[in-house]
Amino acid sequence: MRPMSPLVTESLERHFTLHRGDLAEDKERFLDEVGPKIRGMAVSHVHVNDALLDRLPKLEIAANFGVGYDTIDAAACGRRGVMVTNTPDVLTDEVADLAVGLLLATVRQIPQVDRYLRQGKWLEKPYPLTGTLRGRKVGILGLGRIGRAIAHRLVAFGLPIAYHGRTKQSDVPYEYFPSLIEMAKACDVLMVVAPGGPETKNIVGREVLQALGSEGVLVNVARGTLVDEDALAAALADGTIQSAGLDVFAEEPKVPDALIRQEHAVLLPHVGSASHHTRNAMGQLVVDNLTSWFQGNGPVTPVAETPWKA
């Protein structure tokens, strides 16, 4: 229903009869015509909910391009016997790299310093001194695949790590906080890497930002919906926190003016996994899930809501 890379469409065309909703001028008519015979879908940023599923009565599998599948009602798919797959692991290092880059860019103001030089201001006087990573403690909201990869990197930077999630993990040396607010009080960097969806909507709100404090830096590479953007814009404007580095927004590609006005924040257009290498690996995993499924070998990477029992 939305454009995908040529790697995906060309591979799918080799294996299957491919119907391209992304090329259809009238998507409703397209769904009316081909919906009843569709057995598999490759999806990216598409709301797969009961309304769409009703129009795809033969659907067996929805293969999502991305590890986050908050646009898919996986529980509804599960109830209908529709398998859902995502693309874990192959993007973990790329997103962790970007998250650490975003943290450095935010604390050391790298984009602002670059703009300063290009504007010829260095000829007048040196750039003002910036904040630092030294002496900071990092709290990770969501110590999953990407969260662990971020922690691994930041340990090498010499920073202490804490984490919050629903469960304490026995195989990591980092401090666990059952309460997000308590972790925010104890840290001055908050890295957000938990899944989007109703359960995590706005969990980083005014109180968490206040707890992070005036030296606090928020980095969000998860989903925009986890952060209350109005509260964040206010916290940036009045100095409740020091700064923010954001790769994701609640209503992409729209970014609130109130955030764009914050010159000291670093804002990226959802590029966490956006390298040729990693996007190709993700595309290949979408194709592999579909081909494996239709060869009768089950999915390669099913999501938790639709486990595979061979």
| Contact residues: ligand NDP, CB under 6 A | 67-68, 88, 91, 95, 142-147, 165-167, 193-196, 199-200, 221-223, 247-248, 270, 272-273
287, amino acid identity? V
Q: Which is nearer to ligand NDP, 233 or 303 (CB)?
A: 303
Catalytic residue annotation: 223, 252, 270
What lies within 8 Å, CB to CB, of 297 at 6+ separation is none
- Residue 26's region, left for phi above 0, alpha for psi from -120 to 50, else beta, is beta
- Name the nearest CA neighbour of 63 among 309, 221, 293, 310: 293
We find the least distance from the C-beta atom of residue 66 to ligand NDP, in angstroms, to be 6
Q: Residue 91 in contact with residue 272, Cβ under 8 Å?
A: yes
- Supply φ then ψ for residue 48, to 5 degrees: -95, 100
Residues comprising the chain, all counted: 310
Which residue, judged by CB position, is nearest to ligand NDP in the bound state? 144
- Cα distance between residue 170 and residue 12, in whole Å: 41
Q: Which is nearer to ligand NDP, 69 or 293 (CB)?
A: 69
The radius of gyration of the chain's CA atoms, rounded to the nearest angstrom, is: 21
- Residue 216's region, left for phi above 0, alpha for psi from -120 to 50, else beta, is beta
We find the least distance from the C-beta atom of residue 35 to ligand NDP, in angstroms, to be 28
We find the least distance from the C-beta atom of residue 163 to ligand NDP, in angstroms, to be 8
Q: Which is nearer to ligand NDP, 4 or 91 (CB)?
A: 91
Q: Which is nearer to ligand NDP, 154 or 248 (CB)?
A: 248
We find the least distance from the C-beta atom of residue 143 to ligand NDP, in angstroms, to be 5
Q: Residue 72 in contact with residue 51, Cβ under 8 Å?
A: no
We find the least distance from the C-beta atom of residue 145 to ligand NDP, in angstroms, to be 4
Q: Which is nearer to ligand NDP, 84 or 143 (CB)?
A: 143
